[in-house]
């Protein structure tokens, strides 16, 4: 493989059911994606599902990451919670420890951390929540990289703390002109046309740019692209996206390997 080959990981928020509630076809997704952001029980997931997800990921050679969130099962972690920094940090440590133990007996390990839903956006908007996310990783294992949007408050906190950073792009979400995601409550926030979402994925991977909702083309260098498992037809869409990336000459590989190579979309 040429040193100049573009590398990109394909991650998915996964293991997001709970008890009898099934969110997605996780087994099908884990045959396509390179990285599994496993829900740790606070916004979704339970011990049995966490173990099954980690075991399936291990069988398929998929890297496991901790998808940490607010304690909000009823709201699927998509509701903001005004929790103090120290309490949030402890909540995140709890989730990291829980998944790490289950991953270990499942034959794998936690290799990175990604915030979920409202916590993801809160850590971009609020210093204390950004500090809690970064602080939890730093206290637990400072070698774990953080997955987040580039150029944000959270990314700066991580870099200032010396954490590794995996820059994430979103395939099926619209962007604002300031480089953030269009809030889900606004029309057009989610790309409902799979072909348009696949085109955005290829553009992000090959040119490191994205077109905002106002038509502005802006730089968006990323190392990993996210497929939301709760989207209709997510498994089929993930396969289609991977095929399109590979057809465009992109090497689809795990985000840990991509970050180590330093040859993502910014290369």
Q: Is 80 exceeded by the pLDDT of residue 5?
A: no
Model pLDDT for residues 168-207, shown as the tens digit of each residue: 999 988 999 988 888 888 888 888 888 999 999 999 999 9
pLDDT at 201: 95
Domain total for the chain? Answer: 1
Burial 225-255 (b: 16+ CB within 10 A, else e): bbbbbebeebbebbbbbbebbeeeebbbbbb
Please give the C-alpha separations between residue 99 and each of 28, 140, 231, in angstroms, as whole numbers.
21, 12, 24
Q: 149: closest CA among 222, 245, 69, 250? A: 222
Q: Is residue 135 part of a domain?
A: yes
Q: Is residue 1 part of a domain?
A: no
More confident residue, 253 or 259: 253
Cα–Cα distance for residue pair 18/48, rounded to 1 Å: 9
Residue 186 exposed, middle or buried by CB count within 10 Å (0-12, 13-18, 19+)? exposed
Q: Is residue 267 part of a domain?
A: no
Q: Is 70 exceeded by the pLDDT of residue 2?
A: no
Task: For the chain, give the number of residues.
Answer: 267
Instruction: Mention every residue, 6+ apart, whose C-beta is less than 8 A from residue 52.
Output: 15
Percent of the chain at pLDDT above 90? 72
Model pLDDT for residues 133-173, shown as the tens digit of each residue: 999 999 999 999 999 999 999 999 999 999 999 999 999 88
**Site of tokens 């889900």:** 184
Handedness of CA 136, 92, 86, 166 (dihedral sign): positive
| Residue 259 banded pLDDT, cuts 50, 70, 90 | low
pTM: 0.91
Instruction: Mention every residue, 6+ apart, whose C-beta is less than 8 A from residue 61.
Output: none
User: By residue range, what is the domain housing residue 100?
Assistant: 7-261
159 close to 165: Cβ distance less than 8 angstroms: yes
* pLDDT mean over 224-229: 89
Q: Is 80 exceeded by the pLDDT of residue 256?
A: no
Model pLDDT for residues 20-67, shown as the tens digit of each residue: 777 778 899 999 999 999 999 999 999 999 999 999 999 999 999 999
Q: Is residue 166 part of a domain?
A: yes
More confident residue, 256 or 85: 85
Q: Is residue 254 part of a domain?
A: yes
Which CATH number covers residue 76? 3.20.20.370
Q: Is residue 2 part of a domain?
A: no
């Amino acid at each position: 493989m040429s040193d100049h080959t573009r590398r990109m990981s394909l991650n998915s928020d996964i293991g997001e059911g709970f008890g009898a509630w099934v969110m997605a076809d996780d087994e099908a997704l884990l045959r396509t994606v390179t990285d599994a952001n496993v829900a740790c029980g606070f916004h979704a997931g339970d011990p049995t599902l966490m173990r099954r997800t980690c075991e399936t990921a291990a069988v398929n050679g998929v890297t496991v990451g901790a998808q940490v969130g607010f304690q909000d099962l009823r709201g699927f972690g998509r509701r903001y919670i005004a929790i103090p920094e120290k309490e949030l940090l402890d909540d995140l440590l709890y989730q990291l420890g829980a998944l790490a133990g289950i991953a270990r007996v499942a034959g794998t390990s936690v290799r990175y951390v990604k915030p979920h839903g409202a916590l993801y956006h809160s850590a971009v908007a609020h210093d204390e929540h950004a500090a809690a996310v970064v602080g939890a990783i730093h206290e637990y294992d400072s070698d774990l990289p953080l997955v987040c949007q580039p150029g944000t408050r959270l990314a700066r906190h991580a870099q200032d703390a010396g954490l590794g950073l995996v820059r994430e792009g979103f395939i099926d979400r619209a962007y604002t002109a300031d480089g953030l995601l269009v809030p889900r409550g606004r029309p057009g926030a989610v790309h409902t046309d799979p072909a348009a979402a696949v085109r955005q994925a290829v553009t992000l991977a090959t040119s490191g740019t994205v077109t905002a909702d106002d038509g502005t083309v802006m730089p968006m260098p990323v190392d990993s692209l996210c497929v939301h498992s709760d989207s209709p037809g997510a498994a089929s869409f993930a396969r289609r996206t991977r095929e399109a990336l590979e057809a465009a000459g992109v090497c689809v590989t795990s985000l840990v390997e991509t970050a180590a190579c330093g040859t993502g979309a910014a290369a």
